[in-house]
Structure 1
């Protein structure tokens, strides 16, 4: 799975930045060349079009937006899921990275 793009979205794009760092460390240690980044949910429309990620993960604090965002990701053929509260709370980059990989076709 070389060259995959994993996009995370949360309310301001800030709280997921530490998780992104941990995911990048895991990907690097596993020899995977992934682009992993976080955005604010207000930037989802633009980022879906500009980046066309292979998967979009939502922070648990914005899970209530899943149905609204799913309409957009379905049109673009991009898998969408909410990061588990446990993995997010523990900032478990490895688990979140591997969860993202299971969603990528």
Structure 2
């Protein structure tokens, strides 16, 4: 099972996105585990995931997350339009593409 970590300032806005992404995964028949956490808890979960996606509001902390994962997994800032419209399907597709 693939695991996706969504990171934002407090973990609240990404919680809604987790639901949208889970709905999209279910519709596509994909078994996936998606977790949303605040940036302060990112290091705890980063070792157990296949990709880390940052909310646009914490894009300035990408370098910090990059250093936490040390190149083990892809780290990317979620595209602002997809995030703003909570397009779970598009964000899920991007995460899966990053995982490979």
Task: Give yes or no for TM over 0.5.
Answer: yes
SS of corresponding position for 1:35:
strand
Alignment correspondent of 1:60: 56
Quote the residue 1:36 is aligned against: 34
Normalised to the residue count of structure 2, the TM-score between the two structures is: 0.96
Structure 2 gap segments, 5+ residues each: none
- Correspondence for 1:98: 93
- Structure 1 residue aligned with 2:7: 9
1:74 Cα deviation after fit: 2.3
TM norm structure 1 = 0.91
SS at match of 1:16: helix
After superposition, the CA RMSD in angstroms is: 0.9
- Rounded to whole Å, the distance in 2 between the matches of 1:48 and 1:85 is 22
Q: How many residues align?
A: 100
